[in-house]
Structure 1
Amino acid sequence: MSPPQPRPPPASLCDFLDAHFASPEDLASAPALAELLRRECVGLEASLRRLEAQLASASASWLARSAGARSSLRRIRSRGGGFGVEEDDGDENLRSAELPALVKEIHRIDAIRLYAEAALQLEAFVGNLEDATFSIVRQASKLNLSSVFRPASNEMQWKQEKLLQAVDAMIDIELELLRISTNRPQWTNLIMAVDSRVDKTLAILRPKALTDYRALLAALGWPPSLSSPDAANDKYSEIPNPLVLMNDANKEKYSQSFLALCALQHAQANREARQCQTKGASASMSDSKYFDKTAACFDNGLWAIDELVQPIASRLEYHFAKWSEQPEFIFALVYKIARDFMGGVDDILQPLIDRARLVGLSAKESWVTGMVKMLLGYLDRQIFPVLVTSYQATDDKLEVHSSWMHLNDLMITFDKRMQLLADSGIQKIASISEGLSRSLSVFTIYSEHSDWLHMWAGVELNSAQHKLKSEMEDETNWSYSIKELGQQEITSNFLLSTREDYKAPPVSEFVVKTASAMIERGHALPTRGLRIQYNRSSSVQFLNGFFLVLRERCEAPQLTNTALEDDSLLKVSFAINAARYCEYVLREWDDDIVFLEMGAHGKHVDEGQGQGHKHSAQHPCSFFADEITFLAKLGTDYLEQIMSSVLLEFEDLSWDYVQNIGLQQIHPVDEVLDEENLGVSPGFVPTLEVLRDRTTKLMLHLNSKDFLDLWRSIAEGLDYFIYSSIRWGEMTFSDQGVIQLRVDTKALLHIFRPFCLRPEAFFPFISDSLKLLAMRRTDAQYLLELLKNGKENDSCLRQQGLQHVNASQSMKILGSKRSDG
């Protein structure tokens, strides 16, 4: 028989030898390779022995527990098999006492088994992660054996494979931890132990992966030069972009490195999402929203793109240092660089992001985010600290205020340009890209420095107050020019929407526009909380300061004096109009979605802080609820004061006339009375003239809505005053006196006739009194008898068209009528 032929070595061994001994010169490295292999074998054998010992120990423990459980089951069977035999009470009690304990013990053993299985599974996953991580690190050891024994062309591919193995291990760990946190939330110690080990491993893995990625970028020629031979002609678009100039081989290497780094970041994002979710509420494994939440972890950009920006930053800051007094050049340069390399970034990196399945993420947005973060870092370190120091140290803050507002205007413009750059050609998914869009704002600098935010708000407030002061010093800005009263102006307009409709003075429109501009600048802040703080410290305080001025202008005139002055009346009217117009504008703003959100989530400032008044909110979702309440109360209070002043003036002027109503007899008794030719009582004429003058001026200068309420209130007040001032029952009216009263009343109603067709409806007591006084003697006597007898008082009064006076009042009025016959 022929001797057995030796088996050929496995293909993997052949590949290994071919890889390390490609030429006779490689034989010199055989001892070093043998030593390396020996060390790895010794380590593997030691690991195997440890695992065998652990397995033997675990097996012995489980065998002991199994034997105990088996003996317990035998005892149950032996006792349960003879149920037909009569047993005593002692055995029955023993069995009922042992069974629950045994069931509890079985559940405990089962829980221990599940815990051990989960721990062993996680131990294997974490071991895979640590093995892949330390394999990558070992290649960068002091001996640098990889550069000796491994061809350079395979080194990068080997590292990327190991990195992807680590990512796969992280995914397995996260799925297992998510299952445990959902089904066994009490195993917190196990989860914490695994997280601790994974954190330590990632602290090694991520820096190494970023270092390898930076090395690849440097080998590809990144960062590019920021200047070109033709830079003097501003042809920066001709700067060569290494990402575009890569050959196919380098492009493939870069693609694999980019995808591996994205996979690592995505795994890290899933991990952070799981940890955040565990702190809140547990979610089931089937919850599809779990992985969607990882998109929020990318709101600060992609690591792979941030590494493209970082080497550019050091070169840009060299130029920034020259422009500390001219920040507009800094913003312009950052925008220029972001725009010039945008095409290459989008063409090369967006397909890679799509391959990585990072749904909703954009290369343009990530590139812009990286550039903005770079600029934010410089502003935080170099620009704002100098500005804040000057703000705090300088007494004359005018120049500092100007510089700060100029810087914020540049930031607003820069944000808009960069946002347009990031959004160009992209159909955004709102629910996913919302977080990333927030990071595109330079105003996120105020998120970390709330004191800077309040300083900026103070700068805005000081500038606005300074401008308002000069506006208020011009008294012409507090008045509203009225055109010549004509037929067209008699018809009131109650759909008020403009300053002209409210007849508000120009200063109110200046206040509204200034506050609107402040609010508009605050829209640049990236979060709702920052916008609330800014508006509470700037626009709201500015408005409240103006509203206090309106109250002071209403309080200054002494409206309670009986001798009203036209200037005082007009001054208060214009202040009320300004308050009503501002109230209308604030209500309009409150209906805007921006203020609805701020009103629903904002916190009110301390009561009275910066406002000087106390009032409660009207609606929980109203951002300006306190201010609207204050303005509404201001208008109502001072309209009541105007009404009281007009009534007091009327009372003072007409007191003698009212006291002598019915006693005046300016015509002979036998003279035939002609009501059409009879004149107004001489003592009542001056009063009516003053009342006409007051109502005419109020109609001209007060807004139509408030004037409508005011003249009706004045009419009702006059009606009650005249009626209650007549000494009914103590004096008697002659027929001539009744006619004179009717003539005087018509003159009074004539003053209010331009405001409505039936002004007598607002003088119910005087109208009813005249009806009773004008009744024929027989009818009056009959009605008086009915009222005295108390029979159907209400019905008989209603039949006579008397709606407001009661029986007692009617009898007094009828008792004041005498017949001259």
Structure 2
Amino acid sequence: MSERPPAPTLRGFLDAHFASPQDLPAAPALAELLRRECAELDPSLRRLEAHLADAADAWLARSAGARSHLARIRRTTRRGGFVGGEQEEGAGTATDVGLPELVREIQRIHTIRLYAALVGNLEDAAFSILRQPSKLNLSSMLRKSNETGWKQGKLLHAVDAVRDIERELVRISTARPLWTNLVMAVDSRVDKTLAILRPQALTDYRALLASLGWPPPLSSPDTDKDKYSQIPNPLVLMNEENKGRYSQSFQALCALQHVQGSRELRQRQTAAVADSKYSDRAACFDNGLWAVDELVHPMASRMEYHFVKWSEHPEFIFTLVYKITKDFVDGVDDILQPLIDQARLVGLSAKESWVTGMVKMLVGYLERQIFPALDCSNQDLTTVGKPEADSSWLHLNDLMISFDKRMQLLADSGIKKTACLSEGLSRSLSVFSIYSEHPEWLQMWAGVELSSAQAKLESEMEDETSWSCSGQHDQLGHMENSFKFLLSTREDYKAPPVSESVVKTALLMIERGRALPNSGMQIQYNRSSSVRFLNDFFCVLRDRCEALQLSNTALDDQSLSKICVAINAVRYCENVLREWDEDTTFLDMGPEGSLFTDETCFLVKLGTEYLEQILSSILLEFEDLSWEYVQNIGSWSGQITLEDQILDEENLAVSPGFVASLDVLTDRTSKLKQYLNSKDFLDLWRSIAEGLDYFIYSSIRWGEVTFSNPGVVQLRVDMNALLHIFRPLCSRPEAFLPFLNESLRLLTMKKSETECMLEMLMDDTQSDTSLRHQGFHHVNVCQAAKILRSRKSGG
């Protein structure tokens, strides 16, 4: 009878250790090692057998009790529950127990038995992985194909067990929400097992990477002095056998990460704190793949050796990280992307995971070494406010912005991200995520940006040429041709150059802040930098206007020019802020959809306030110059001779007392048109006209003075001279002097018309309506009657 051939596993084990006759002398040592390991495993086996026997006895006792209850129920059912009119003892016991309670107990026992089996499968697989040979003499076995395949198979078996447990927990949590103790007990056992399983899986993965020659050197050995050579990638150079081992290890680690992430998501949802924006994959992969991070970690130690030497030149640090990332990104994509697809990790990009891992590595180094040094120098009283301290911050952030853009291009060259994953991955892809963990550093950066911008603007604001009004020296005729009301540019608003510099500087700060990974950080940064910078400039505009004190001094050309320049700057900045608020990139930067709501309201109030001051100053100046003339209107009409009545109205001169006020008004109007932006000038000259109309009309003592025909003609000549000032600005300027216009219409009526009008006004029932029908919409009945009685009878 022939002997049975050895098992394939035994043959493989012997072939691995006795490949040639030279290996035979090691047989006694190997036999001794195996005997020692068997001796160590025997106590564990006996403990497990005892534990199994105890567990079996306990479950058999429960099973026997349940079987007894079921037998009693069956007997009760067959006999109808009574024998001779009396209930049997077994039936009574079954009735006492209660069928619903018994069914629930059986279901609970079945569920516990199911969970015990699932948890047992998981723990068996985990402990099988941990029962590995001693590293002292059998470390080489980890690199053997059969050993690696066996361990990865056990790991995948453990992952499948966790998935089965998760499916049951989700089902029972939905169907039996009160069974929380059971779910918590199972979770506790699974978490303890995963806490052991993950470190072991990572250790095996690292050992495999080391056997493949990872990490590679940071430079190629054949790099010439003037020639760039790409670093060889060990992942690309793997043979078929190593590719199979690596593929199995990579996919097993991804499966473990996915199932652990699914558990964490389910636990957060149970605790009612889950974020509904992210799917289960986003919850476990938004910080990168474990397998890719393990590629980055060993390279980090080699790179940080060089980083330490470049603390004063951070640009070298960013350059090295980008170079290493770029050198390996294509190889990583070629090798890992198919493995990610095989693992069915939909939407995950190998390129982006690689780039994210390198960015996180750099962020960690900056957080430990670079930023604390900048923080100390910024808080040092001997360096605060010095250009060196500020320039270091600005230089580092410029490098971070440039680095982020270049790394984003590398990441985006991979597969397109799905919507549910893009936000999570982008958060870890930015170097500026360092500010989310250290808001005090964000405040320092914003302060440096603010002080740098203020220093650059200070010298420009001290130069008065920066405050010159655009178009101030143009010819008036040219300005009439270019008169428009749709304004957009600084030149349209006639704003000074300094206002455009302020806007560009603020926009530059805002653009730099867009590198921050979320809107909350962008709001915080802008509130401390660009918004404060704009507010400081707006306060300068207010101070320049207040320094003129228009209400206390005469309105000279210089004062008028300065305040118009300030108003133009205000209106230009207000327009820019409104355009920013309508831009979609700014919508998420404010708590109510606008980042500059308060600043815009401040500008509106400031511009309106100083336009009112100009209006008030011009009206007061006109009143001072024409006071005597206005007070005497009507009194000189009775002194005009009959010969004066035949004078031609077109050739009649303006009253001498009215000439000076008209000349000053003409000068002020032309200067305002020259200095002030067209939209505000339009509103201002109309307000001036309305103010003059009310002033002159209300100053005439209607009913006390008497106008003769020559007096009416003179008044009309004077008012036409006033209208002549506004006629280049409007085809019907009399519409903006309605009281004077209607008063002259009433004064120039014929005698018969005057009598009819007075009779009509005496009729209280229809006087107001009749007055409106005649085209008089501003003077009331009483005023119209006084004006008509001021007309000298018979002219």
TM above 0.5, one fold? yes
Match 2:616 to one of 633, 644, 661: 644
Distance in 2 (alpha carbons) for counterparts of 1:291 and 1:739? 84
Partner of 2:772: 798
Indicate if the aligned counterparts of 1:301 and 1:369 stay in contact, CA closer than 8 A: yes
Residue 57 of structure 1 pairs with residue 48 of structure 2: no
Amino acid at match of 1:122: Y
Match 1:670 to one of 627, 637, 643: 643
Distance in 1 (alpha carbons) for counterparts of 2:81 and 2:690? 101
Partner of 1:340: 327
Distance in 2 (alpha carbons) for counterparts of 1:61 and 1:314? 63
Distance in 1 (alpha carbons) for counterparts of 2:284 and 2:587? 28
Distance in 1 (alpha carbons) for counterparts of 2:101 and 2:739? 91
Distance in 1 (alpha carbons) for counterparts of 2:353 and 2:166? 26
Match 2:555 to one of 564, 571, 584: 564
Distance in 2 (alpha carbons) for counterparts of 1:104 and 1:813? 111
Partner of 1:722: 696
Partner of 2:255: 263
Matched ranges for 1:166-565 at <5 A: 166-233=158-225, 235=227, 237-280=229-272, 292-396=279-383, 397-482=386-471, 483-487=474-478, 489-490=480-481, 492-561=483-552, 563-565=554-556
Q: Deviation of residue 151 (structure 1)?
A: 9.5
Q: Deviation of residue 626 (structure 1)?
A: 1.1
Distance in 2 (alpha carbons) for counterparts of 1:774 and 1:221? 109
Distance in 2 (alpha carbons) for counterparts of 1:645 and 1:255? 85
Distance 1:108 1:673, change over 3 A: farther
Q: Deviations over 1:450-489 (max 9, x none)?
A: 1000000000011011111111111111122312122563
Q: Deviations over 1:83-133 (max 9, x none)?
A: xxxxxxxxxxxxxxxxxxx99976666555544444433332222222211
Indicate if the aligned counterparts of 1:490 and 1:754 stay in contact, CA closer than 8 A: no
Partner SS state of residue 676, structure 1 = helix
**Greater displacement, 710-719 / 401-410:** 710-719
Matched ranges for 1:632-711 at <5 A: 632-665=604-637, 667-671=640-644, 672-711=646-685
Q: Deviations over 1:200-247 (max 9, x none)?
A: 222211111111111111111111111233435254534322111111
Match 2:151 to one of 153, 159, 181: 159
Amino acid at match of 1:276: R
Match 1:596 to one of 581, 584, 587: 587
Distance 1:394 1:63, change over 3 A: same
Residue 781 of structure 1 pairs with residue 768 of structure 2: no
Distance 1:39 1:557, change over 3 A: same
Partner of 2:46: 42
Distance in 1 (alpha carbons) for counterparts of 2:278 and 2:749? 90
Distance in 2 (alpha carbons) for counterparts of 1:361 and 1:499? 48
Partner of 1:609: none
Amino acid at match of 1:654: S
Q: Give the RMSD, CA atoms, in angstroms.
A: 3.1
Q: Deviations over 1:672-707 (max 9, x none)?
A: 132111111111111111111111111111111111
Indicate if the aligned counterparts of 1:227 and 1:236 stay in contact, CA closer than 8 A: no
Distance in 1 (alpha carbons) for counterparts of 2:653 and 2:96? 112
Partner of 2:21: none
Partner of 2:88: none
Distance in 1 (alpha carbons) for counterparts of 2:481 and 2:277? 67
Distance in 2 (alpha carbons) for counterparts of 1:770 and 1:115? 104
Partner of 2:89: none
Amino acid at match of 1:455: M
Indicate if the aligned counterparts of 2:446 and 2:525 stay in contact, CA closer than 8 A: yes
Distance 1:433 1:707, change over 3 A: same
Q: Deviations over 1:767-793 (max 9, x none)?
A: 111111111112101211221232411
Amino acid at match of 1:58: R
Task: For structure 1, list consecutive stretches of 5 or more residues without a partner in the other structure.
Answer: 82-101, 284-288, 603-619
Distance 1:103 1:624, change over 3 A: farther
Q: Deviations over 1:275-308 (max 9, x none)?
A: 232233799xxxxx99933224312221111111
**Greater displacement, 129-138 / 683-692:** 129-138
Residue 134 of structure 1 pairs with residue 127 of structure 2: yes
Q: Deviations over 1:340-375 (max 9, x none)?
A: 122221111111111111111111111111111111
Amino acid at match of 2:395: H
Q: Deviations over 1:381-433 (max 9, x none)?
A: 11111111010014343210011100100111111111111212533334323
Q: Deviations over 1:179-204 (max 9, x none)?
A: 23333333333333333222222221
Amino acid at match of 2:431: V
Distance 1:685 1:151, change over 3 A: closer
Distance 1:343 1:186, change over 3 A: same
Distance 1:792 1:339, change over 3 A: same
Partner SS state of residue 236, structure 2 = helix
Indicate if the aligned counterparts of 1:270 and 1:291 stay in contact, CA closer than 8 A: no
**Greater displacement, 422-431 / 331-340:** 422-431
Amino acid at match of 1:138: R
Distance in 2 (alpha carbons) for counterparts of 1:69 and 1:731? 123
Q: Deviation of residue 58 (structure 1)?
A: 2.3
**Greater displacement, 22-31 / 476-485:** 22-31
Aligned length: 768
Q: Deviation of residue 76 (structure 1)?
A: 12
| TM-score, with length taken from structure 2 | 0.90
Amino acid at match of 2:370: I
Q: Deviations over 1:144-166 (max 9, x none)?
A: 77978x99331111110111111
Distance 1:235 1:200, change over 3 A: farther
Indicate if the aligned counterparts of 2:121 and 2:158 stay in contact, CA closer than 8 A: yes
Give the percent of matched residue pairs that are identical in Structure 1 and Structure 2: 64
Q: Deviations over 1:508-533 (max 9, x none)?
A: 10010000100111111111111111
Q: Deviation of residue 729 (structure 1)?
A: 1.1
Distance in 2 (alpha carbons) for counterparts of 1:185 and 1:566? 83
Partner of 1:123: 116
Partner SS state of residue 426, structure 1 = coil
Partner of 1:89: none
Partner SS state of residue 447, structure 1 = helix
